Structure 1
Amino acid sequence: MHILIAPNAFKNSLDAGQVALAIEKGLKRSKLDCTTQCFPIADGGDGTGTLIVESCNGKVVWKEVTDPLGQKIKSSFGLIDYGKTAVIEMADASGLRLLKKEELNPLKTSSYGTGELIKFALDEGASRIIIAMGGSATVDGGCGILSALGIRFLNNGGDVLQAVPESLVNMAKIDASDLDKRLSNCEIVILCDVDNKLLGPQGAATVFGPQKGASIKDVPFLANFLANFAKISTAQTGKNMADIKHGGAAGGATAGLNTWLNAKLVNGIEYFLKLTSFAEALQHADLVITGEGSIDRQTLQGKGPYGVALQAKQAGLKVIGVGGVIPSKPDEELDRFFDQLICINEPGTDLATAMANTRENLVKTGNKIGDMLA
């Protein structure tokens, strides 16, 4: 039996590659006579860019950029497809993991550094730029990125505003006359792992603001800023920025780049699997194991394990899903894609203990699956 192991990362615990290796280790300890292939996956979240560059045998380019609070840091992007395509991970320049918990403040953080990476990619001659936007520390609608690329945000008096929400809330006009001309010949593709639109109760400020450090008072402030940005953008471009599917991802940066740079917003896992030739790996598999930290109905909204399971089912293969959390009762919708869901934790395990023992529990689960199949 040949088993394809294609998990997503277990957030805040292990990256996708580590998860795959732990499951593989367990399978090899089991009674099952099998071969395995590790195929770690990502859906646009933190770590997606790294996996794409590794899978496509790309090279990494290091540059100095600005972090979310304006400090200079070393960051990187990848080049694949003989240098024609750049792969940028927003989290590498504008990510939550670059800041201490007490530094998180989406009124003051900017995505400017990600815009600098885009400029460096253009300097390298890239004609296509793929951006994974998961794990950002910003709710600036992508204004920081746009500012780095030459767009200016003005107040009523014509003064240029700093590209952070606490200043941008005074935006009255957007001047795109100095936008980097090279962008007109460059395709920008953004991998999205959520469907949320920019505004409303499921919008960027309300849903993702608190994750990035927004207080109860900050959320309506950020929502008002984004609403004003959308109103001005719609008036100047004719594009309804508030109505863009995936527009709420990365603090609204997806909506900003779609409106002002004509960036394509795509389903992250679908694009990732195509780019990394997942279908070829499926051809040799007899069974697929996938998973992530939590598997539930939200998984079916375009998350990594769903994308894997969908393609595996289309190929006529059985799928086992593993997670730190799974539904307590059978779920008809999930059962259409997963032949079996397995929780890697013992019942009643508290979160801290579960997180600390993720690797060990994945090895045990791999062993359990192997013995079950044997």
Structure 2
Amino acid sequence: MRILLAPDSFKEAASAEAIAQAMARGIKRGNPQAECWLMPLSDGGEGLTHALVHATGGTLHDVETVDAVGRPIIAQFGFLGNKHTSCTAVVELASASGLERVSPADRNALVASTFGTGLLIRAAIDAGADRIVLGLGGSATTDGGTGLAHAFGFRFLDAHDSDIPLGGGALVDLARIDDSRVSDSIKNVPIVLACDVTNPLTGPEGAAHVFAPQKGATATQVELLDQGLANLARAIMQYNGRDIEHTPGAGAAGGTGGGMLGLFNATVKPGIELVLNLAHGREACAWADVVITGEGSIDSQTPYGKVPSGIAKLAQSQGKPTIAIGGTVTRDPHTVEALNKAGIIATFGIAPGPADLTTLIANTERNVEITCAAIASTLRITAATSPCESA
């Protein structure tokens, strides 16, 4: 039996690559004869760089940059392998400007900036990249990508032609955008935004109202940030005539999607579709008899643009079944029905029994291994007793 192991990371517990390795160990315990293809995935958030570098045989590169609140850190970008026609670099915004980089006590929704991500992309271009894949997800910021653009020389000026500070809180004072220090070659580099949300830039479903509270913003700060993003949209319209305020995906990563679409040569693609294409997901599904995927929580969001549903739909198009595992698994009938329609025929929670969250997170890889061993044993028994096998 050939089994494709294609999980996302289990957030705050283990990377997609570590989960795939644990899955493989479990499969071999349950069925030593099984063949495994490990394809750790990402929907554009955390783990995107490692997933694509792993899938294409690329390389990782360390860069000195800063986190969302300006502290020096080391972050990574990757170059794709497999002889891609362009020199494509992969950057995930979460690597430098991610929420997990900043402890709750240090989070500041008004000053958090994507400047560090801009430094990371500049380093990739300086190293030879002529195309960027930027994963939008897991950000600590609501600055509309202005910090990122500032790293390339864009200036964001107030009514007195003074530079406004970094961070989304200052955008209410933005009067105009100056690009006199930005080279045309930088502005023309193709940037593909890997994004799994469709939120607009502003309004009740926009970046500030939906995502800023989890980044430490109070209700008052949410309103201020939303006003700032609307002001950014007006400034971009004045700068080059691009209308980004209501574009689906503009609200991703604290409005970075909108800023990138407004200021750079950027396009948006669903993260999981982009990853599956670059990682040769179609070929992997064609090879497999069954697919096992997973993420930290199999819930109402899973059927919509997440890794398990993305790989399941691709497998389903080739007549291959998909099984999903998760740290928690919903039994809500509507969600289960949506998962089934996406091609996920069964879901399994990895928790062995009642336990506190800290213990469950610490034992994630072990519990993944045990669960996959049981799944492999079941698949082996089913295959051995099927009419086709016995005929």
Structure 2 residue 347 is matched with structure 1 residue 344:
no
**Structure 2 CA distance for aligned equivalents of residues 334 and 20 of structure 1:** 21
Contact 1:296 1:334 in 2 (8 A): no
Residue 126 of structure 1, CA deviation: 1.8
Task: Report what 1:303 is aligned to.
Answer: 306
Distance, in Å, in 2 between the alignment partners of 1:144 and 1:208 is 18
C-alpha spacing 1:263/1:83, structure 2 compared with 1 (3 Å)? closer
Q: How many residues align?
A: 374
1:207-246 pair list within 5 angstroms: 207-246=210-249
Select the residue among 132, 137, 147 that pairs with 1:134: 137
Equivalent pair of 2:141/2:168 in contact (CA under 8 Å): no
CA distance in 1, matches of 2:228, 2:187: 28
CA deviation profile, 1:100-159 (whole Å, cap 9, x unmatched): 221111211111111122222222232111111222211100000111111111111111
Paired position in structure 1 for 2:365: 359
The answer as to whether partners of 2:39 and 2:55 remain within 8 angstroms in 1 is no
- 1-structure distance, mates of 2:316, 2:212: 36
Code of the aligned partner of 2:121: I
Deviations 1:293-341 (CA, angstroms, capped at 9, x unpaired): 1123311221111110010000100111111222224432211221111
In the alignment, which residue of structure 1 is the partner of 2:77? 77
Contact 2:171-2:231 within 8 A present in 1 as well = no
Is 1:333 paired with 2:335?
no
CA contact under 8 A between 2:143 and 2:169: conserved in structure 1? Answer: no
Partner of 1:111: 114
Aligned match of 2:57: 57
Q: What is the aligned-residue RMSD (CA, Å)?
A: 1.9
Residue 156 to residue 38, structure 1, CA distance change in 2 (3 Å)? same
Q: Which 10-residue stretch deviates more, 210-219 or 152-161?
A: 210-219
1:347, CA displacement in angstroms? 6.4
User: Is 1:122–1:182's contact at 8 Å kept on the other side of the alignment?
Assistant: no
In the alignment, is the contact (CA less than 8 A) between 1:106 and 1:140 conserved in 2? no
Cα drift, residue 246 of structure 1: 1.1
1:184 Cα offset (Å): 4.1
Paired residue for 1:260? 263
Does the CA contact (< 8 Å) of 1:139 and 1:252 recur in 2? yes
Q: 1:342 is aligned with what amino acid?
A: F
Between the aligned residues of both structures, percent identity stands at 40
For 2:287, what is the secondary structure of its paired residue?
A: coil
Which shifted more, 151-160 or 58-67? 58-67
Bigger shift: 269-278 or 331-340? Answer: 331-340
- Structure 1's unaligned 5+ residue stretches are none
Contact kept? 2:69, 2:108, Cα under 8 Å:
no
Moved more, 82-91 or 263-272: 82-91
Determine if the alignment matches structure 1 residue 99 to structure 2 residue 105.
no
Inter-partner Cα distance in structure 2 for 1:224 and 1:349: 44
Match of 2:378 in 1: 372
Structure 2: distance between partners of 1:100 and 1:186: 34
1:146-195 CA-partner distances (Å, limit 9, x unpaired): 11111111111111112222323211111223223212442111111222
> Residues 215-266 of structure 1, C-alpha deviation per residue, up to 9 Å, x if partnerless?
2332112111112111222233322211111111111101100111031111
Alpha carbons 1:194, 1:301 under 8 Å: kept: no
What is the TM-score normalised by the length of structure 2? 0.90
Q: Deviations over 1:338-360 (max 9, x none)?
A: 11111222566553343233222
Structure 1 moving runs of 4+ over 6 Å: none
